[in-house]
Structure 1
């Protein structure tokens, strides 16, 4: 947020994409280096964040003061399209590995196909290593060439404190809108195993495929939404309301679907829209409340996912599932999750309304700031 004031959308989209595909990178590392030992996997998960993550975090330093680019007429720009190309290639490679491991025996069992899995893992690490080598370049533009077509915020960002942010009505509109969409997405993720069995007549063969499809679409959604927000074609709050409205329609259609084809069609759409929300969340926070105490404000806003998913996962899903379960506690058929999915659709519709109210309040603020003040 501080280092790329002119390109927050692209930077946020890329960072959120890496977070989205982190589990896939971990899975391919396990297949190449640790399989079949699950004990080594757990040990690696406990050690790697300290051994690798902590030293690398020390390298993250502010490079550009906020607002300095605008003062000097110099705007920083990374070769974003090259970064996008590398990231999309990485996503395609991870998808290929997942599909081959799910449908063929060319990679599984992992310990018997160590060379092939090492080849995939080496390719992933090579692509990741290319990203920090992309050159940073500065371009100086004339005073009249900096304007871009499309939406742009007319009023400067006001830096709120953490207390001022939490006491703002706009913060809670954003919090509730994100709670609805992210809560519905986590409801699907947390119950994906049983959801697949219910819709696929008790079979679990599609579980890895659905997990992979949702994860990849999630990553692509984060990348695409970061780019759309940076293009300023629409206000960021309007993008949020459209994403939630699309998610509501997708959950409703999924609730009416039956069989494995409904699963295969729904997973990429739900994953894409779920990923869009995670790119919009930090961008809206800085647009509404500024960079002051940004880490603390983001931590509070991140609780929206927990707030939205807890009632759905703890109460709504068990109630509908157990109502149609057999004497052994298992439920097969579309009715097992139909009511829960309709609840998810309703939650996203409500979130879209909150997001639209947020957009209206921001639009009113911009118009008020643009009005000339008369002097006596």
Structure 2
């Protein structure tokens, strides 16, 4: 089919978009940014509450996200020399809250039990209905449940999992799915944006200047940044890597407590300071100030990883597939760099067996949207996949609550 297509991963914390040549199916360019709705709250629950209580907030969140997606689209087109008018198809995958807000739909059914979207299948609108110029058709992915949406469907569509496969998106909403025969068991663990750098004191998305790697060698801390720029913040993958390094060298206790400077016999102790009434580890220091991993940051990571592991336990129980019976683990998320499965074992999300069968899929949801556009079947295969989902609510589930508390600490 002639013309071009735009693929969008509409994340709670981060946005990703790519421009495709529909004749070849190739990606021409990719870009991303932070979701501008974050001033209404870092997570879905906060934004839903704002939209329920204020029509003005709902309207503003819709305006913000529509304008930002259009800006990204124009940025991609300008950089690729493609007129926006030649983009004939847009496909968007996001969680139910993000897709409802984009469409300026009421969100009360998502904000209160039984937490259901207004529609579960895919949705087709025009560019004009979103307030955009151009003549593109816009397709939004199916939303199987209240907190399991188009981004999860897109992720699975991209990786094409077989039997007994765990698909894990470690984004703000912690969506996960486990295949068992014709059924795809899925849930959302509301992990928060820590793994994407969203609510860390010095956290940021994977943009130039973001620290993407931190290693402790002896008493030296070595960092690498995206684009080899001066460091301005830390992305999620580097935060997780740093936690594993601090556990290994004894600066961080299994319970999550940063040891005081006086308790650390090496020179690394000099990097533990008091800042704003809490302990913090100095990652980098220059004339502009300090980049830190604070005690509060570590707690956010503990909450996130505890929620994700507990959600995994619930899916294993409901599907009847214990962790040793898994054949594949597919992992994605907007971390900033590849996330090593061994790090996830260190912090207590993965078992040893999962490390051996896991693979990381960069931009999992975006890759799935691109694959659906390349299939050129009118999104029929996407719709069929969406009907296979069976969503498991975690709210009030005793097993989730028990496992969440059990897996808060680091198993080190």
TM-score exceeds 0.5 = no
The structure with more helix, counted as a fraction of residues: 1
Q: Which has the higher contact order (CA 8 A, sep 6+)?
A: 1
Q: What TM-score, normalized to structure 1?
A: 0.30
Q: What TM-score, normalized to structure 2?
A: 0.28
